[in-house]
Structure 1
């Protein structure tokens, strides 16, 4: 196991330093080479615009230079990854989010500015000003889950976002529509304070959906744009982990390790906008895969996880 783990990591390092964006090279260094949080944040800051939001193809399927909600969500996920909520970037991000907050709550999924630049077809946007659970739920959940900066959480614009997410959940009695919606539910329900009974109700609906036919794909051999065990349970402390059996997680970890390509990286399972976009995605996903393998002990000490029944 030790030699196999070392080989996986060494091959990935070669791929990352040959092919990945500076941001993902810094992420790799942070997780596997004692790199610094500040180096990751400096690389991330290059994607931030003057309005405080993020654009510039941080989301590789959206080549728009202008700030976008989903690209800002991607930035917040990286800030969360390295514990960087004390960064000066957050002030600008909050200003941007307040500025694009819609009346009555909700952030748009994207703006029509994406249409003027290369983008994946699923990002085509017909109308501005339409509130969407995705990425509002995830963004609000991320911001609620950190403790470095909390004053804004009492402000009206933010409370309207919280109310909007609750309304979205109330209107979805059958549970999330898909994986991306499920991530919104999880991010929000894991962090929203003060309403344990309400939270428990919607966690019950979420759990039923996750374990049902539209939820976590447990077939390790399923192909196409599907979301499998380790997409939901990227690390042992993820919400969905408690719904999974340990032998199922082990099978998917074996599959994940087998999925490393000859060049040391992992492939994407969806069509890319361009060769550059594909390479950017592969660098990002390769770091994500390594984080998962490390978290489950596949690049080091074995750990216990999941349910044993």
Structure 2
């Protein structure tokens, strides 16, 4: 089963009419052969004078304040489209990350808001401590671009210690796992990395994490991941966990979940506007996965 051309065009129109500029530029990059410079400018619209990224880069908050997670998201996006360079990392990103590094050597997931803006409740109760989900991908990108910074020494000690501490906890978070893998793929300590990857794969495949109830409204969303969340393409690290039949079944279900107006929906959003923003993010993600598996009609 493939997404029909008609339904692909519905998804395109939904993104172009409703999504944020960053998703529109990413769509044009991935599907309409646009260059990466447009993505760069869309990403930098979220940048603050302190070098961090804010302004609701994740739509769960309307706060303009810089946040570590949003800055990681910006870094990942530029890497994904091939626009990132050593100079951009060193000059535009590292001063901010160094300024928020904790005594343990890592960077927090989020910082408590200093001002009162609409946001989900979990933003108001964050603990400002070093987090694996932000420190690991930053280290991974630094290793990928063959950078050698003093900051990396203590950060790497923190990351390996955190892997030992959490073991197989949080593998249910399909947003965290790829960020861990960014580090594990590029670290020089491949012997330990391979062992850690195998432990992660074992936990994902044997802890009942995958939601097989395709009739569940939350299927594939946060808390109820499906296989495609962990294997966004056939070359994903976790692809070997799943049979081709199960992947095909999830792809068929993903196609069937498209709404009449072209979107793939979520339950996220602090307002009707941010629900549309999240739907734009989810729709772009669905199209990318279907494209990766060759499931969009020409």
TM-score normalised per structure 1: 0.87
- For structure 1, which segment, 183-192 or 99-108, has the greater mean C-alpha deviation from structure 2 after superposition? 183-192
Q: Deviation per CA, 1:222-251: give whole Å up to 9, x if none.
A: 443311111111122221112111111101
The answer as to whether partners of 2:113 and 2:123 remain within 8 angstroms in 1 is no
Structure 2 counterpart SS, 1:124: helix
Deviation at 1:126, TM superposition (A): 4.9
Deviation at 1:156, TM superposition (A): 2.0
Deviation at 1:177, TM superposition (A): 5.2
The alpha-carbon distance between structure 1 residues 126 and 238, as it changes in their structure 2 partners (threshold 3 A), is: closer
CA distance in 1, matches of 2:284, 2:262: 11
Which of 180, 183, 204 in structure 2 is aligned with 1:185? 180
The alpha-carbon distance between structure 1 residues 155 and 280, as it changes in their structure 2 partners (threshold 3 A), is: same
| 1:160 aligned partner | 154
The answer as to whether partners of 1:111 and 1:125 remain within 8 angstroms in 2 is no
CA distance in 2, matches of 1:88, 1:200: 30
Deviation at 1:127, TM superposition (A): 4.7
Deviation at 1:96, TM superposition (A): 0.9
CA distance in 1, matches of 2:286, 2:178: 18
Which of 207, 213, 227 in structure 1 is aligned with 2:201? 207
| 1:30 aligned partner | 29
* Pairing of 1:92-171 with structure 2 (within 5 A): 92-113=92-113, 116-128=116-128, 130-145=129-144, 147=145, 150-151=146-147, 154-171=148-165
- For structure 1, which segment, 26-35 or 119-128, has the greater mean C-alpha deviation from structure 2 after superposition? 119-128
* Pairing of 1:170-249 with structure 2 (within 5 A): 170-176=164-170, 178-179=172-173, 180-193=175-188, 195-224=189-218, 225-249=223-247
Structure 2 unaligned runs (5+)? Answer: none
Structure 1 counterpart SS, 2:133: helix
The alpha-carbon distance between structure 1 residues 33 and 173, as it changes in their structure 2 partners (threshold 3 A), is: closer
The answer as to whether partners of 2:105 and 2:130 remain within 8 angstroms in 1 is yes
The answer as to whether partners of 1:219 and 1:228 remain within 8 angstroms in 2 is no
TM-score normalised per structure 2: 0.90
| 2:265 aligned partner | 267
Which of 289, 292, 302 in structure 1 is aligned with 2:289? 292
* Pairing of 1:79-94 with structure 2 (within 5 A): 79-86=78-85, 89-90=88-89, 91-94=91-94
The answer as to whether partners of 2:268 and 2:278 remain within 8 angstroms in 1 is no
Aligned length in residues:
292
Structure 1 unaligned runs (5+)? Answer: 302-309
